[in-house]
Structure 1
């Protein structure tokens, strides 16, 4: 599966992720989720890869989250998915995803998991050599 980068145009963390991927020459497909919102199946696929379910993907700091003022614990999964489809700004971003890995938000340490194995091996060898000096 191709690495997918789900973004918002004005998102600083999304720009950081884009720059990092370019720096390491990692191919990806970018999708602006404001102009091309995720459908229910795509949201479910992301949720299946999370560790903490909706807690991992919902941006509690987003304006729409505050405006809706819902009791989020009372929503069914289907209700939540419909809200995300309607209000994509409820999602934390960026979302990076391939067939094995998922990262929500930009974290410079965690994003390294998307590096090809041969690059990770080279970097580990360099780091080991540097500490042996």
Structure 2
């Protein structure tokens, strides 16, 4: 199951949800303002990062500015508690399944949440469309 961590006022969150719905992908939305994020979810997200906290902490957030903490040096348990108490520290949207994490919305990267077969079909269709476009351009030039 795909989980998407959002806030209501986030346009990237809205785009991500619309994309998931358009692709008929089931997801669970966790609003970071109205729902509680638990320790297990935070650990799951951290385990999927490439750069640790740098990937998921929003340095532009009001919570980050207010707390003034060096997230690279604090202990894991302290980090988890801080995020539980200040979930808007997290960048948004965070899109997670049991193997993948995407931070923010990106048209190309979000495709990794599509089932493999559907990705293969879409690539085939795009390749054929590109080929047909090339033929049309050559026809009009000649």
Measured after TM superposition, the shift of residue 97 of structure 1 is: 0.9
SS at match of 1:96: strand
Measured after TM superposition, the shift of residue 74 of structure 1 is: 3.0
Rg comparison, structure with higher value: 2
Which stretches in structure 2 are left out of the alignment for 5+ residues? 133-142
Question: Equivalents in 2 of 1:28, 1:90: separation in Å?
Answer: 22
1:72-94 C-alpha deviation (Å, 9 max, x unpaired): 33321211111100000000011
Specify the alignment match of 2:84 in structure 1.
Answer: 85
SS at match of 1:4: strand
Specify the alignment match of 2:4 in structure 1.
Answer: 5
Specify the alignment match of 1:126 in structure 2.
Answer: 125
Specify the alignment match of 2:50 in structure 1.
Answer: 51
> Within 5 A, what are the aligned runs for 1:22-61?
22-61=21-60
> Within 5 A, what are the aligned runs for 1:96-115?
96-115=95-114
> Is 1:20–2:19 an aligned residue pair?
yes
Higher RCO structure, 1 or 2 (CA under 8 Å, sep 6+): 1
Question: Equivalents in 2 of 1:42, 1:126: separation in Å?
Answer: 36
> Within 5 A, what are the aligned runs for 1:59-70?
59-70=58-69
Runs of 4+ in 1 over 4 A off after TM superposition: none
Which stretches in structure 1 are left out of the alignment for 5+ residues? none
Q: Is the 8 A contact 2:53 2:72 kept in 1?
A: no
SS at match of 2:4: strand
SS at match of 2:72: helix
Specify the alignment match of 1:76 in structure 2.
Answer: 75
The Cα RMSD (Å) is 1.3
Question: Equivalents in 2 of 1:4, 1:118: separation in Å?
Answer: 21
